[in-house]
Every structure is written in structure tokens, then in C-alpha cells.
């Protein structure tokens, strides 16, 4: 039983570290899984903005890869010595210094559950030692309004 608790603790810590410290690491993983990847309109619009700024005319920054955007991407790729694909890919984003906009997981983080106690003014992650007496699950989003994060379990 003890090892299970330990494992849960490690897992939740790893989750916390991954979600806060390494967003680029996560997107790298996604890319390696799907090579023929489509980018969302925000990312595309950012690419278009940057290309326009550099004098590669994409037309309007509508967030969709049309003929002009494709042509602009191609000439940029040529100029930069990248593989000329006419499509947005990782090297292109890097060359343009565009951060890929990953669909937000706000719906998930809203449902992230933390725990408060009868008496305390802090909120905790499940498994924190301060939860031994009482624990009431509440969503993290509302806990942030009225409680402070515990300094021991750092939810
Ligand atoms: Zn705690």
C-alpha cells in the first residue's frame, strides 16, 4: 500500500513538472508521433504575420494556408536553406521564431481537483500529509480564489 502511495506521489509530481516546466518538450513529443501534422489557425496566423513582416507576402493573416501563404513559405524556406515543402513544419517555426500554439487544455486544468481541510487555509494535492484529518475535494480554479497553495505538496 505504501509503495502505491509513493508511486502516485511521484506521478503527480512528474505531471506537475512536465506541465509547468517543459511545454516545448511536450510539443516535441507530439511532433515525433505525427509527422504529417496540421497546425491550428493561431499558429498559422503567427507564421503569416512573421512572413509578412519579413517581406514574404502571405496576404491577409487569416490563419489558413492558402496559395499565397504556401508561396511565401516556399520562398522563405528556399532563402533559409530549409527543405522546401510549402507547408508549416518545425524547422520553419523555428526559423521564424514562432511558438506553436497548442490547443489549450484549460478544460482539463479547470477540472483539476485539489483538497482543502476543515480548518486549514491552504489547498493540497491528494496524498499530502496535511489531509490526514479531513479532506474536501474542490476544483483548483475555485480553490485559488479562497485558499493558498500548500508549501509542502505544492499543488
Ligand atoms: Zn499539502
pLDDT tens-place values along the chain, 155 residues long:
566 666 665 666 666 555 555 454 444 444 444 445 789 999 999 999 999 999 999 999 999 999 999 999 999 999 999 999 999 999 999 999 999 887 655 445 446 899 999 999 999 999 999 999 899 999 898 899 889 999 999 99
Alpha carbon of 130 to ligand 1 centroid (Å): 5
Task: Find the 126 Cα to ligand 1 centroid distance in Å.
Answer: 8
Ligand 1 geometric centre to CA of 26 (Å)? 27
Contact 109, 140 (CB under 8 A): yes
Please tell me the distance between residue 57's alpha carbon and the centre of ligand 1 in angstroms: 54
Between the CA of 131 and the centroid of ligand 1 the distance, in Å, is 7
Instruction: Calculate how far, in angstroms, residue 118's C-alpha sits from the geometric centre of ligand 1.
Output: 13
pLDDT in tens, 114-147: 999 999 999 999 999 999 989 999 989 889 988 9
Spacing, Cα 153 to ligand 1 middle (Å): 4
Residue 66 burial by Cβ neighbours in a 10 Å radius (0-12, 13-18, 19+): middle
List of residues 6+ apart from 11 with CB closer than 8 A: none
Beta-sheet strands, E only, within 7-146: 113-116, 122-124, 136-139
Question: Does the predicted model carry a pTM greater than 0.75?
Answer: no
CA of 21 to the centre of ligand 1 (A): 20
Amino acid at each position: 500500500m505504501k509503495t502505491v502511495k509513493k508511486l502516485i506521489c511521484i506521478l503527480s509530481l512528474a505531471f506537475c513538472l512536465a506541465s509547468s516546466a517543459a511545454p516545448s518538450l511536450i510539443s516535441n513529443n507530439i511532433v515525433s508521433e505525427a509527422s504529417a501534422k496540421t497546425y491550428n489557425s493561431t499558429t498559422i496566423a503567427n507564421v503569416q504575420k512573421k512572413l509578412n513582416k519579413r517581406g514574404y507576402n502571405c496576404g491577409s493573416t487569416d490563419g489558413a494556408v492558402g496559395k499565397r501563404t504556401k508561396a511565401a513559405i516556399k520562398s522563405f524556406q528556399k532563402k533559409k536553406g530549409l527543405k522546401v515543402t510549402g507547408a508549416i513544419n518545425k524547422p520553419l517555426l523555428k526559423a521564424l521564431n514562432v511558438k506553436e500554439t497548442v490547443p489549450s487544455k484549460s478544460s482539463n486544468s479547470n477540472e483539476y481537483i485539489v483538497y482543502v481541510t476543515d480548518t486549514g487555509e491552504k489547498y493540497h494535492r491528494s496524498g499530502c500529509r496535511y489531509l490526514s484529518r479531513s479532506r474536501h475535494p474542490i476544483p483548483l480554479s475555485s480553490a485559488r480564489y479562497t485558499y493558498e497553495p500548500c508549501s509542502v505538496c505544492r499543488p
